[in-house]
Structure 1
Amino acid sequence: MDGSRGTEVEPRNGDVAGSHAAAEAEAAWVALVERDIDRWSATESAALRAGMDSEEFVVAEFAAELGDAPSVAEMPTGVGLASALDVVPLGHVDAHELGDVVAGWERLIAWAQARQAAAAAELTSREEMRAGEGHGRNSLHPVPVTASELCLTWPWTKPQAQRVVDQGVQLRDVFPAVHRALLEGRIDTRRAKIITDVLRGHEAALVERILAAVLPHVHAWTSVKVGRVVRRLLHELAPESMKERREKARKDRTVWMEPDADGMAWLHAYLTAEEAAAIMAALTAATSGDAQPDHNAADADHDAADHNAQPNDNADHNAQPDQATADHAAHPDQATAGHAAAGPPPTAAQQGRSAGERRADALAAMAWASLTSGRLGGTGCAECGSAFGEPLARAHGRAVTVNVTVPWSTLLGLDEQPGELDGYGPIDADTARRLAAAGVWRWIGTDPAGGWALDYGRTRYTPPQDLVDYVLLRDRECRMPGCHQPAYRCEIDHRIPYPEGPTSACNCSALCRSCHLQKHHAGWSVEQVAPGTQRWTSPTGRTQTVTLPRIAPAAHAGPGPDSEPDPPPDPPPGAPFDERVAPLDDIPPF
């Protein structure tokens, strides 16, 4: 009806059609939005439904997650803090709040690691992890057995997984108050580990007394201060106990290498304080002469102080219980007389070295001299037999040495394929050729067609024990998943136990003592699914396929992940054990 005239107006057909079309278009748009909204990000979807743009919604969502807390710094650890941190509008909060956000993530990490520790500790109590407990071997204790299982759930190495499990058991059984502090985010795992490592093995009453004094303040202390305070309290409250602890700790001294980038590596040593000081003094004295100022000295000292608060958790020195080692650490009362060789005179490239470089070169010179003479101290003569100092250890019937793998084509200068340094990894072709020419290194030639071991030699003698040498050179390290123990420290395992299985290269593998015991007594099994490829099955039925790495690039293979053959797919979890390789009579050492 037209109100101005009091008459009704009939709609025209075109207007009706247009309104219907508009309604249909709107309905189609709504349907399209409803259909596609789940494909958008959660923030975009929620913002659309709330009638806000994305930035407005993120700010509002963060405020809602905070609730009554003025900042994330005031929120307790847990799922609520995780939700708030997850929606922080980083571009819309001030610098002060951003600092609280960074610290909040650290508290949340501590909470998550406390939960992880509890789960790892609980796993050690399950029946599958205790199959070998009655054999009385440290390697069959539930902690290392559980660590082996966890290597199949996450790409940890054995030492990394064992540290997770061991810390979980300690927090659950011995240090529940420290576990609560970690769960509440008042300390991180670094400070928690310092406390548990220093106090481990002391009387419960003493531990409780020290924790009562330390835990109320530890949230504000650095890891360095935590270590100093706890150790000082121990010396003050239990001086006699600390003497006994020192003698016990001396038995854990060790040295290990940690590969780094650019052809470099870290050499770590866990020694008595006076031995470490003596080594540093000797290295410093060996660097006498004009040296360039060491501009990194202050930073190095600062890092060392922080590092000394706790051993390096990232280094895989594989210092596992009852595991054989060729290392020899000298007791102060049993030091052997001798003088390290000074090494060759400095070249032009060595002039102008910093103090740190000179100390590193002096340490390397000691090792070169010892390898040349075959005796610790490097004063012996390999030709006439006259020698002073302690002879270097042997493994598998030969002197311990370092293998450098060099493709024939690289050795002849036809290409620049990288070499392989045992215990480290790839090295550049020039370095590989230089080391292969040195008499104290053993070089291994490889077949360019496939990259497998073809021949090996050493300038000083012909290697015996062909089968053992072949297995050690082929495997390079322990074959069990997660373990990287060097092959020369391993035992030779019959995959199918002798006499059912032959003593042959295809049936023999390198396994370290710990993994060898677990294979036979802790419910593990292994089958060979292809040449060079083994499938391991854990006590819980998890499986992982391990393929031998080529020790040199194949001639037909280009760079990248496709240069090695893909292993056969793993069966689904819960696959039955391989009955052919159930633990029988091949008890190490074989």
Structure 2
Amino acid sequence: MEPDTPPPEDDPEFLDFEVETAHEAYVRHNRANHARDTELRQALVHSYQVVERMLEPVQILTESPACDDVSGMTHIVAAGQVARLINRAHAALLRHAMHAQASRAFMFDDPAGGLDTTGEQLARSLGISTYKAGKLLGAAAQIYDHLPHTAAALDAGELSLDKAIVLADGLRGVPPHLAHAVESVALSHASVRTVSEIRKDIERLLIELDPDTANELHADASERRRVSRPRSRAHGMALMRMDLTAEQSASIDHALDAAARAALTAGDCRTYHQLRADVLASWAITALQTGAHLTTTCGDPVHIPPTKIAVTVPLEVLARLLPGWDPHRAPAAVLADLYDGDAETAERTAQLLGDGRQILELSRDALGRPVGRTEAAWVEGYGPIAPALGALLAAGGTWQRIITDGPSGVPLDVGRHRYRPPAAIEAAVRARDLACQGPGCDSRARGELDHVIEWHDGGGTSVGNLLVLCKRCHRRKSAAGEYLIAVRPDGSRVWQTPTGTYTSYPARAFRRISHDALPLPFPDAA
């Protein structure tokens, strides 16, 4: 964690307090075991550091001019050796993940049942999502407990991690005698087959070798059907995954195909794939605008009322719609000065930027011209979107517009007069946090409001003392030895977890910019 300049002690938005972590309590009660554990940890880390240093000569060789004249075949052969090394490293990673979970060091009891936080700890250590960490843990347990041939191939570097995960997922829940048979056949040509081909091989073999069990496995798998929440991609796009039964997916596919082809026949200028996407979205939009009816399999019919999606639009985004509005220079223009301007301007800009991270905090450029960072508009359940799209969605329809930076006059702090926050405070906290603020979590599902300083410890009910946590992170904070020890003025939060200190950052950083004037009937948007 990087050193920070301590804020003034009287800063009401800064909270700092000390707690004993679960790891510290373990050390205090198990000093002998902790010493042995520390010694082994140091030995493992040192061993991996030695292996890492052994790669430096190879890196020097590949970057030397000699490699420029080497044939492409030589590089392909060398790449194959690198792949084997990567495979063996992945095997070691999975083994460590498996042992970490088996140790039950990150298992906690709470009123909702056992809480296993190994996935979150692994995700922080590797810098990956909790979902991906969970996939690694599940694959590790399946491979090293039930698929010995796959484990051996992975340990030897003969099988890649993605292929091993496909085998683990495809054979999970399959009886051992059948799993071993399918595993042997699938592995016989795994080195020359793609991940998709191996997945199809497993599906075909399970049906052909045991059709009765295939029916049972299908019934079990259909219980896990789901449609994921959208995951943001570059340039305002999103990715959603649908795990459906074969008949459901076929029905959707044929309906979209028929609609797209009918539109093309009628002369629509969109492509086939664009039409499939737009038609599917139009069905959902219609349901949002008019409501829908849902027939349940174990309950009364459900009427879904019309629904709006919240889109948070900063004031400066709407200002772009005004005729003659001249926004301040964007930080990107300052960077352009640094790279393309004259030597004097570039030097002054470089001094202003320092290490480069200050670009988000600029209010003036090197020549004294005002600089304004345009905060991204934000769609509930998705994330940041481009200004043009934010302005378009703010027009209404299915979208509920929330304009930020304008004072509402509603009190945002009710002290300790009540535990549950009133609607105004809840709305302000949700508009600020936008996503779960738990360490390493990016869940955008509607979470729960939690007191930073607990109510029973004297914490008040205010915007500054509340944050949004998803249900799982709320449970971890309450039962899994994770404590919030500091809230900084920039909105970042410092957590103490069983594996160390971790800093989480708000979905959108607090701005430190100012606008000289806005031609709008609103106060300054600073």
Q: Number of residues paired by the alignment? A: 391
Aligned to 1:381: none
**Contact persistence 1:370–1:376 (CA under 8 A):** no
CA apart distance, 1:198: 0.9
Equivalent residue in structure 1 for 2:269, among 352, 365, 368: 352
Aligned to 1:491: 448
Aligned to 1:525: 483
Aligned to 1:258: 231
Indicate how the Cα distance of structure 1 residues 497 and 242 shifts in structure 2: closer, same or farther if over 3 A, else same: farther
Q: Secondary structure at the match of 1:509?
A: strand
Q: Secondary structure at the match of 2:456?
A: coil
**Contact persistence 2:162–2:195 (CA under 8 A):** yes
Aligned to 1:137: 113
Equivalent residue in structure 2 for 1:367, among 273, 276, 284: 284
TM-score (norm 1): 0.60
CA apart distance, 1:477: 1.0
CA apart distance, 1:409: 3.1
Equivalent residue in structure 2 for 1:471, among 429, 432, 442: 429
Amino acid corresponding to residue 158 of structure 1 in structure 2:
T
Aligned to 2:217: 245
Pairs within 5 Å for 1:108-119: 108-119=85-96
CA apart distance, 1:555: 4.1
Indicate how the Cα distance of structure 1 residues 557 and 259 shifts in structure 2: closer, same or farther if over 3 A, else same: farther
Over the matched positions of the two proteins, sequence identity in percent amounts to 29
Amino acid corresponding to residue 100 of structure 1 in structure 2:
V
Aligned to 2:419: none
CA apart distance, 1:82: 5.8
Equivalent residue in structure 1 for 2:246, among 273, 282, 287: 273
Aligned to 2:128: 156
CA apart distance, 1:479: 1.0
Pairs within 5 Å for 1:490-569: 490-500=447-457, 501-531=459-489, 532-540=491-499, 542-550=500-508, 555-556=513-514
**Contact persistence 2:149–2:184 (CA under 8 A):** no
Deviations 1:180-218 (A, max 9, x none): 211222221221111110101122222122223332332
Q: Secondary structure at the match of 1:548?
A: coil
Aligned to 1:208: 180
**Contact persistence 2:481–2:498 (CA under 8 A):** yes
| Counterparts of 2:143 and 2:55, CA distance in 1 | 23
Indicate how the Cα distance of structure 1 residues 136 and 364 shifts in structure 2: closer, same or farther if over 3 A, else same: closer
Please say which structure displays the higher CA radius of gyration: 1
Aligned to 2:141: 169
Q: Secondary structure at the match of 1:291?
A: helix
Equivalent residue in structure 2 for 1:98, among 57, 69, 75: 75
Indicate how the Cα distance of structure 1 residues 85 and 390 shifts in structure 2: closer, same or farther if over 3 A, else same: farther
Indicate how the Cα distance of structure 1 residues 518 and 426 shifts in structure 2: closer, same or farther if over 3 A, else same: closer
Q: Secondary structure at the match of 1:420?
A: strand
| Counterparts of 1:527 and 1:81, CA distance in 2 | 40
Q: Is 2:315 the partner of 1:408?
A: yes
| Counterparts of 1:81 and 1:420, CA distance in 2 | 46
TM-score (norm 2): 0.67
| Counterparts of 1:168 and 1:415, CA distance in 2 | 56
> How large is the RMSD of aligned CA atoms in angstroms?
3.3
| Counterparts of 2:170 and 2:450, CA distance in 1 | 38
CA apart distance, 1:286: 1.4
Aligned to 2:260: 287
Q: Secondary structure at the match of 2:240?
A: strand
Aligned to 2:189: 217
Aligned to 1:9: none
Indicate how the Cα distance of structure 1 residues 235 and 258 shifts in structure 2: closer, same or farther if over 3 A, else same: same
Q: Secondary structure at the match of 1:152?
A: helix
**Contact persistence 2:147–2:183 (CA under 8 A):** no
CA apart distance, 1:359: 1.0
Higher RCO, 1 vs 2 (CA within 8 Å, ≥6 residues apart) = 2
In the alignment, structure 2 segments of 5+ residues that lack a partner are 1-50, 295-300, 328-373, 413-421, 517-526
| Counterparts of 2:403 and 2:326, CA distance in 1 | 14
| Counterparts of 1:419 and 1:80, CA distance in 2 | 45
